[in-house]
Chains A and B, each alone.
Chain A
Amino acid sequence: MARKTGGNIKDLLFERTTGGFAFLVLFLAVLLFAVLLRESVPALRKFGASFLVTGTWDPVLEKFGALPFLYGTVVSSTLALLIAVPLSVGAAIFINEFAPPWLKAPVSLLAELLAAIPSVIYGLWGIFVLVPILRDGFMKPVTKTLGWIPFFKGPVYGPSMLAAGVLLAIMIIPFILSVSREVLATVPQRQKEAVLSLGGTRWEMIRIVIGQHCLPGIFGAAILGLGRALGETMAVTMVIGNRPEIFVSLFQQGYSMAAVIANEFAEAGGLQLSSLILIGLLLMLVTLVVNLAAKRILSKMVARASRGI
């Protein structure tokens, strides 16, 4: 009996110890919020809500507004989604529906490798390969013929909102692709067969099944990709041009929330530091909301699929 009691005490000790570590993780998450909030108070006090709509970023006059960075983050991420979602969904359809079975494993592996490349390497490749290609092969010809459209106005330097959007698209494609493939795989075989048996072509089958079944899931995949794109730092910093101004033209330089933190944080102090931390807090809250939304949409999708609807 004594031995058993000893076991119970040890069991309790073990549970408490592992619980202690789990509590530590919770504590770190709370601490993260608390610390960022505390340090951004000076900027919050000084600027309040006007921080979000002010376009000046002047360390000399100590006047700080986050608008150019918000704008850059939103535009570059949106651009990335516009490129990445159709491509990923198309590729997912190809892999799941048309590709010979032996092709599936290598393509998944390639997508996973793409996801494993560090973002600084994407940035390096962006600076020396992607930007020159986009500048000479796309931006210069387009601005020559369609330069009257505000989005395509010159002058063309290379580093630009467009370059950031394209690079981000390449980076988030693996995530959107793998989630889209999972979503497509949840379509019951019966449903596909039903469409085909009614005389539908394969294309009609894809259109109907995706339209009926997969849109929420693909939306969730896109939101998940958005969460990645919003917080991406190094690659964007290296190709967006880092100019704290707002241009309508996608060929002009921009700046993003993460990029301004990366560039200015190490040398900042006082109100500038506090403003940068406030930008960080905003970025964290936005990605948090986006990620939770994606999770909710996708788990609903999975629940529906498991009920076989």
Chain B
Amino acid sequence: MKGLFCLCAFLVVLPLFLILFDLVMKGAKELRWTLLVDLPRPVGEPGGGIANGILGTVAITLLTMTWSVPVAVMSGIYLAEYGRGKLASAVRFAVDTLTGVPSIIMGIFAYILIVLPMKRFSAWAGAAALSMIFIPVVVRTTEEMLRTVPTTVREAALALGIARWKATLRITVRTAWPGILTGILLAMSRIVGETAPLLFTALGNQFWQSRLDQPMAAVPLQVFTYAISPYEDWHDKAWAGALVLITMVLLINIAARVLTRQKR
């Protein structure tokens, strides 16, 4: 019987090793400097890279975070510090709901609200779709992290005569900050790899694009396009792109974990 359970555990972790092994073996083949600094080339031409995608992913991610982090952290503060009324329970329900919504739906949302009125695909729309994934996750972790701060800390601050808003920001939030930052990084590592919400919002681009109101490339989109193409040399590019993508995701993920460990 024990053997059977052991087999289950083995089968559960086996795919991870297979996936990582294949990623490294097949991805390393195309992984050279030009991949990181060159634009994509047409089929058949050797070389070429995914530099515009890397830049696009960084741009869209940063864009998403510039407005999502304040919204999410402030909402989390409200829920943890003032959240007893009807508004708070409604917001909590909304957050729970949004966390479970499939990410492609957020793409539809951004398409209707931004792509249709603007009449073009854009980095803005991509970032809007990603925000809908990012915000609920971070609201939740911010609230949870703030709740781990003992009430005695808040009371001590208030007893010293510090105004409540100041005590909240300078003491409570600061105490919980490593945890909140971990939540932000974990959410970030998730949106970096998201593909479905970008398909019809950021759309992808063959060239450099610095304007945010234009279609923009992103690494996950490039991996998808290359993977489903019928060309052998594009398949190699897909693997290399996937290796770059997983490196980005895991680095952020590990950074988040290191941060939590330091807190303890």
Task: Look across to chain B and name the residue whose beta carbon is closest to the beta carbon of A6.
Answer: B163
Q: Does A52 sit within 8 A of B, measured CB to CB?
A: no
- Min Cβ gap B256→A in Å is 10
Number of residues from B at the complex interface, CB < 8 A: 85
Contact B194 A127 (CB under 8 A): no
CB-CB under 8 A from B259, the residues of chain A are none
- Complex Cα spacing A111 to B15, Å: 10
Q: Which residues of A contact B8 (CB under 8 A)?
A: 86-91, 93-94
Does B160 count as interface, using CB distance less than 8 angstroms?
Answer: no
The stretch of B43-51, B176-184, B222-230 that contacts the partner chain: B222-230
A124/B103 in contact, CB under 8 A = no
Q: Which residue of A lies closest to B227 (CB)?
A: A124
Contacts A107-B13, A120-B193: A288 and B100 contacting too (C-beta < 8 A)?
yes
Contact with A along B52-74 (1 / 0, CB 8 A): 00000000000000000011101
Q: Tell me whether B224 and A120 are in contact (CB under 8 A).
A: yes
Known A124-B238, A266-B200, A280-B104: A15·B82 in contact at CB below 8 Å: yes
Contact B164 A25 (CB under 8 A): no
The CA of A233 and the CA of B113, in the complex, are separated in Å by 21
Q: Is the CB of A32 within 8 A of B189?
A: no
Given the contacts A19-B82, A32-B132, A177 and B12 also touching, CB distance less than 8 Å = yes
Q: Which of B71-103 contact A (CB under 8 A)?
A: 71-72, 74-75, 77-79, 81-83, 87-88, 90-91, 94-98, 100-103
Is B112 located at the chain interface by the 8 A CB criterion? yes
Chain B positions 1 through 31: 1 when the CB is less than 8 Å from some CB of chain A, otherwise 0: 1101111110111011011001100100000
With an 8 A cutoff between CB atoms, is A214 at the interface?
no
A119 contact set on B, CB distance < 8 A: 193, 195-196
Chain A residue at smallest Cβ distance from B135: A25
A129 to chain B, nearest CB (A): 5
Contact B75 A21 (CB under 8 A): yes
B207 at the interface (CB under 8 A from A): no
Would you call A19 and B94 a contact (CB within 8 A)? no
B74 x A35 contact (CB < 8 A): no
* Alpha-carbon separation in the docked complex, A123 to B239 (Å): 11
- Say yes or no: B139 contacts A261, CB within 8 Å: no
Contact, CB under 8 Å: A121 / B242: yes
A25 in contact with B12 (CB, 8 Å): no
For chain B, what secondary structure do more than half of its interface residues adopt (helix, strand, loop), or is it mixed?
helix
Interface pair A32/B19, CB less than 8 Å apart: no
Determine if B19 and A280 form an interchain contact, defined as CB atoms under 8 angstroms apart.
Answer: no
Contact with B along A271-309 (1 / 0, CB 8 A): 000001100100110011011100100000000000000
Is A191 engaged at the interface, CB distance under 8 Å to the other chain? no
Q: Complex: how many Å from CA A88 to CA B91?
A: 33
Contact partners of A280 in chain B: CB under 8 A? 104-105, 108
Per-position binary interface string of chain B over residues 102-135, scored 1 when its CB falls under 8 Å from any chain A CB and 0 otherwise: 1111111101110000000100000000001001
Which listed residue, B74, B103, B105, B166, touches A36 by the CB 8 Å rule?
B105
Q: Which residues of B contact A173 (CB under 8 A)?
A: 12, 15
Q: Are B78 and A21 in contact (CB under 8 A)?
A: yes
When distances are taken between beta carbons in the complex, the residues of chain A under 8 Å from B96 are: 291-292, 295
Given A21-B70, A121-B19, A94:B108 Cβ within 8 A: no
* A261 and B104 within 8 A (CB): yes
Q: Which of A19, A26, A124, A262 has the most CB of B within 10 A?
A: A124
Within 8 A of B (CB), among A12-42: 13-15, 17-19, 21-26, 28-32, 35-36, 39
The CA of A283 and the CA of B199, in the complex, are separated in Å by 18
Cβ B224 vs Cβ A234 within 8 A = yes
Q: How far is the CB of B152 from chain A (nearest CB, A)?
A: 20
Chain B residues with CB below 8 A from A148, complex form: none
In the assembled complex, A215 has its CB within 8 A of some CB on chain B: no
The answer on a CB contact under 8 Å between B19 and A258 is: no
Interface residue? A219 (CB, 8 A): no
Name the 9 nearest CB pairs between A and B, nearest first: A231-B102, A118-B193, A90-B8, A14-B165, A291-B100, A94-B5, A29-B94, A18-B78, A7-B163
Residue ranges of A at the interface with B (Cβ–Cβ < 8 Å)? 7, 10-11, 13-15, 17-19, 21-26, 28-32, 35-36, 39, 86-91, 93-95, 97-99, 107, 110-111, 113-114, 116-125, 127-129, 170, 173, 177, 202-203, 227, 230-234, 238, 258, 261-262, 265-266, 276-277, 280, 283-284, 287-288, 290-292, 295
Cβ contacts A to B, 21 pairs, < 8 Å: A7-B164, A19-B82, A22-B139, A24-B75, A26-B94, A28-B132, A32-B101, A35-B112, A39-B112, A87-B8, A88-B12, A116-B189, A120-B242, A124-B223, A170-B15, A238-B228, A262-B199, A277-B108, A284-B101, A284-B105, A290-B100
